[in-house]
Amino acid sequence: MKAGLISIALLLLATTAFYFLKKEIPMEKNQIIPREKLFADADHLNVRISPDGNSLAYLAPYEGVMNIWVQALTKESKPRPLTNSKDRKIQSLSWSYDNKHILYKKDTAGDENWKVYKLDIDSGKSTRLTPEKGVSSMILAQSPLKPTKILISQNDRNPQFHDVVEYDLQTGESKRLYENNKYVGFLFDANLNMKMGLELAPGQKIVFYKYENDKWSVYKKLKNKEDTYFTSPLFFSKDGQKIYWQNSVGREYAALTLSDFTTQDEETIFEPTKGNIEDIMVHPTEKTPISVQVNYDKSKTIILDKTYQPDFDYLNSLGLGNPSVISSTLDFNTWIVTLDNGDQPPVYYIYDRQNQKATYLFHMFESLKDYGFAKTYAKIFKARDGMELVSYLTLPKDVDQDGDVLKSVPMILFVHGGPKARDVFEYDRTWAYRQWMANRGYAVLQVNYRGSYGLGKTYMNAGNGEYAEKMHDDLIDASKWAVAHGVTTADKMCIFGGSYGGYATLVGLTMTPTVFACGISLVGISNLQTQVDSFPEYWKPMVDQFITETGGDPNTGEGREILRKKSPITYVDQIKRPLLIVHGTNDPRVKKAESDQIVKAMQDRNIPVTYLVYPDEGHGLARPENKMSFIAAAESFLAKILHGRAEPMTDEMKKSSVEIAAGKIE
């Protein structure tokens, strides 16, 4: 269970000396890894065991698209695909507690209007449970006490708020349990009774309400908006009388606490000394926390229930990386475990607790397991005002000497989105990007600039109002650190990012126009005023959050002037370096108009720009053909400017839906 109901989104090494040697290691020793392998869909993803332990379900390619596969856990069984999605990959799945169905969601061409489906594992029949168009839905809750029932949220009645709908998997009947015109989140007990609602009140204040006898009453208010992201109810105890919380009130790092639902008397279960709780392992029927994962620079597992210490000791003894339990049977005797060392994709094991035996299941990427990968190193250094910046440096293999650099190389400053998200040492969705760039000869620096999530309340709230100011200063300071430590030179740095990272890229090339040699902006914001004006209806309650983050109120003249000053389009005439811009037509979060307007402004000023548009994508690139064309284009773009290695382009552009709206790709 991820810590935090409303969290958006989610080196203890000393600074080391570096060596600058004249002797060069031949590039041939650093074998080129084909981009089609690095960016291919995983061979096995989201592996989940059924509650009764009889079957596995997971995502894997079928006819080139990620679909749901099922395999019975018997020696003679073979995996079989149960879905045949051809237009859009399936990105997640979960078992129902009746062991007969798999639940999943899917959107259309990246519009993020998610539709929820049930999949019958015997017949293979897939049934859509939520409206077809213009509605955003998600699964809210399930319970083993009501194995055929699921709760779904959907905004078909009021686009701004999601109602609660109950669906019966056995009968196919559905009923609207609650018409919602106020709350942005709910909490249910083990019997799927609605117990709490969460309101995001004006001024970014959180109010928790108690639902009892069909009436709402104020339960708790957060006095400080600084606790908004770090304090929320997680789950009820087995008897429904107590609530486990993520709680940052009066603390720098959010603790796991347990409070009486009636009296609100509270006890602390676990409080980190550094780093936020990122994940909580919960017993599926006893509803007690087993362990937590805490992450500052690297993820660490802390066992809360010492009954399970021998299990984790055994899993750690395998020496394959940090163990994470991602699925279990209802009796909790069989676990699906990933082992992750950060430098390569995880491997999946099935673990038998009764016999304390782990059996290899799958490699996440079978086609990559024989390649050697670049290493990533956690680095902590200080910004100009003394704030620690938790960062990650990935070095090409031929210049890496245990985290020190043998010679300076071109560098990519790879900026995460959010901004209330973070980069991590362990495997995540950025892993392929950092390995790709390092394999092509670039150092890769990922910086958790202030405003990033997971590094403490002060760290994140230090980003409030600092768009294009101290948040950008952190990126500049990180670049200077890399130059000072011989990683790169001042004329060989590129800035690259998506979403907020795309905005940071545009800020970098407009407001600090000579720092970077080039920039790549993927679904980036160019105009903060038009960005907030285009929020989808169900984002409207979060306008106050936007005001806090950016420092500009779009409803006042003074606020609009602040947004104008922090918008890259205001400084478009200062662009001096090559820029590659990429956007999906159906993006609901950052509308394509954000890229359109800055591209037009550049063209009006005869400033060169390359602009790739994907008509069947949203906030990012999901279709493999589209992602491959973007990577090929970006690789060619970087090679021309920073002179790294590049695979020859073949027919990647023709296979994708890309429209080259400005410039050209060679």
Q: What is the pLDDT of residue 223?
A: 85
- Is 100 within the bounds of a domain? no
User: Which stretches of the chain drop beneath a pLDDT of 70?
Assistant: 1-29, 204
Q: What is the pLDDT of residue 27?
A: 37
Residue 596: φ, ψ to 5°: -55, -45
CA distance 573 to 554: 24
Alpha helices in 448-592 (DSSP H): 457-461, 470-484, 500-511, 528-533, 543-550, 557-565
Q: Return the number of other C-beta atoms located less than 10 Å from residue 544's C-beta.
A: 17
Q: In what order do the strands lie in the sheet with 357-363?
A: 322-328, 334-340, 347-352, 357-363
From the list 524, 531, 487, the residue with the least C-alpha distance to 509 is: 524
CA distance 49 to 56: 5
- Is 543 within the bounds of a domain? yes
CB contact set of 546 (below 8 Å; sequence gap of 6+): 532, 535, 554
Q: Hey, which residues are catalytic here?
A: 499, 587, 619
Q: Could you write out the DSSP letters of every residue in 260-274?
A: ETTT--EEEEE--SS
Q: What is the pLDDT of residue 226?
A: 85
Residue 501 structural domain? 376-662
From the list 120, 73, 75, the residue with the least C-alpha distance to 95 is: 120
From the list 220, 228, 177, 179, the residue with the least C-alpha distance to 202 is: 228
pTM over 0.85: yes
- Is 135 within the bounds of a domain? no
From the list 107, 108, 56, the residue with the least C-alpha distance to 82 is: 56
Give me the CATH number covering residue 479. 3.40.50.1820
CA distance 275 to 282: 20
Q: What is the pLDDT of residue 446?
A: 98
- Is 318 within the bounds of a domain? no
Per-residue pLDDT reduced to its tens digit, 120-172:
999 999 999 999 888 999 999 999 999 999 999 999 999 999 999 999 999 99
From the list 390, 406, 396, the residue with the least C-alpha distance to 375 is: 396
Domains held by the chain: number: 1
Q: What is the pLDDT of residue 411?
A: 98
- Is 69 within the bounds of a domain? no
CA distance 187 to 235: 7
Q: Which two tokens stand for residue 332?
A: 């909790």
Q: What is the largest CA-CA distance in the chain?
A: 77
- Is 167 within the bounds of a domain? no
CB contact set of 10 (below 8 Å; sequence gap of 6+): 2, 3, 4, 278, 421, 422, 453, 454
| Residues 462 and 384: beta-carbon distance below 8 Å | no
Q: What is the pLDDT of residue 29?
A: 53
